[in-house]
Homo-oligomer: A and B are copies of this chain.
Amino acid sequence: MSRRRVTLADLAQAAGVSRTTASLVMTGRARELRISHDVEQRVLRAADELGYRPNAVSVGLRTGTSRTIGFVSDTVATSRLAGDMIKGALEAARERGVMLFIGETEGDPELERGLLHAMHDRQVDGLILAAMYTRTIKVPKDVGGPAVLLNALPKTPSDLPSIVPDEVEAGRAAARVLLDAGHRDGIYTIGAGPALRNVPPQSVAAVERLVGIREVLGEAGVKIAGGRMCVDWLPELGFAATADLLKKHRPKALICLNDRVALGAYQALGDVGLDVPGDVSVVSFDDHPIASWIRPKLTTVALPYYELGRKAVEVLFAQMGEEAKPGEVHRVAMPVMHRDSVATRS
């Protein structure tokens, strides 16, 4: 018994019609072209029995379309945080009957060129250019065809739409969490700030979060008491920064610029016998898995990875369908995860 795929010709023969007719029926244009109901059923039945499936490669060659999009990232696929971004993209793609190619550039322009070529060679219908952490990227010039930037903004003006988390609003939300809990003083930032220039290099998240924080606090007439910057948002550095802060100050609330930093802060706080949230409230950003693993569970403003991924393919499809507004920036809301690290002050 032959394992060869059944082709349209096989199907046509089995149904006793021409290939054209079979094709028409299979592409759902039987009604439109007024093919007899009888013939239509015959074809459909034969297709079912033979297990006919159109060869996507052939269709691709013929139509120039592949129902495939490429997901190219610096290293997002491997980022433990951002697998959800792919998951979101994957699901949105599946809903549209589209497959996903993935590739990583490792930040190497040479690799990036190669990948983009390999994808174009395979006639991808569109491209998602993703970054592991939110930042500005240099848009490769050989992006032929529809593309969107995911978790990234173009370094130089570009027509490509961007999908990014709404970090400014997240900053506002974090500040509001503290305000709502009655905090008015003794608020310090860890990881960046308190001034806008004290941010890790390249990090748009840092400045935008800070902007939001300062805005809401400012409106409420509350001053940030101080802060410590970390060149990288790692637990060790968060620990060091917090330990250093504690040498001179007794904070009542910490806004950590992300969860890994917060983990370090927890450790430093613990070392000097300060209780979270009894003595010090902590808010953070990202909603990394550890946020709900550490004790007390961390109240944090979540990075909406899954939604970002979904949105990317939605925008990409809009892009592919009509002409979209060039360079539009889509901001995805960052939800607050209320947990146990913030105490109410009277």
On whether the beta carbons of A117 and B53 are closer than 8 Å, the reply is yes
Are B68's CB and A77's CB within 8 A?
no
Whether the pair B83, A80 counts as a contact (CB closer than 8 A) is: yes
Q: How many residues of A contact B (CB 8 A)?
A: 48
Q: A118 within 8 Å of B by Cβ?
A: yes
Contact of A102 among B55, B90, B121, B122 (CB under 8 A): B90
Kindly identify, within residues 215 to 261 of chain A, every residue whose CB is under 8 Å from any CB belonging to chain B: 235, 260
Contacts of A58 in B (CB 8 A): 61
- Chain B residues with CB under 8 Å of A333's CB are none
Are A122 and B99 interface neighbours, CB within 8 A?
Answer: yes
Does A99 lie within 8 Å of B119, measured CB to CB?
yes
Interface stretch of the complex, out of A199-207, A278-286, A289-297, A338-346: A289-297
* Chain B residues, CB < 8 A from A103: 90, 94, 99-100
**Residues A80 and B78 in contact in the complex (CB < 8 Å), given A55-B123, A61-B61, A102-B90:** no
Asked if A182 CB lies within 8 Å of chain B CBs, one says no
Whether B77 contacts A87 by the Cβ 8 Å rule is: yes
Given A61-B57, A290-B293, A293-B263, decide whether A101 and B104 contact each other with a Cβ distance below 8 A. no
Set B56, B78, B123, B295: member contacting A267, Cβ < 8 A = B295
How many copies of this chain?
2
Interchain CA distance A60-B267 in the complex, whole Å: 56
Contacts of A289 in B (CB 8 A): 80
Q: Which residues of chain B come closer than 8 Å to A260, judged between CB atoms?
A: 293
Report yes or no: B87 in contact with A104, Cβ–Cβ below 8 A: yes
- Is B81 touching A86 in the complex (CB atoms < 8 A)? no
B86 and A123 contact, CB distance less than 8 A? no
- Is A13 close to B, CB under 8 A? no
Closest residue of chain B to A55 (Cβ to Cβ) is B121
| Contact flag A87-B78 (CB < 8 Å), given A101-B99, A267-B295 | yes
> In the assembled complex, how far is the CB of residue A270 from the closest CB belonging to chain B, in whole angstroms?
9
A3 contacts the other chain (CB 8 A): yes
Task: Given A100-B103, A101-B101, A293-B260, answer yes or no on A90-B77 (Cβ-Cβ < 8 Å).
Answer: yes
Mask, A64-89, CB within 8 Å of B = 1, is 00101000000101111111101100
Interface residues of A in 287-312 (CB under 8 A from B): 289-290, 293, 295
Across the A-B interface, the 4 shortest Cβ-Cβ residue pairs: A78-B87, A56-B121, A80-B80, A78-B83
Please name 19 further chain A to chain B contacts, defined as beta carbons within 8 Å, in addition to the given A56-B118, A80-B83, sorted by A numbering.
A55-B123, A56-B121, A56-B122, A57-B60, A57-B66, A57-B122, A58-B61, A60-B61, A68-B101, A77-B77, A78-B87, A80-B289, A82-B83, A99-B103, A99-B119, A99-B122, A100-B103, A101-B101, A290-B293
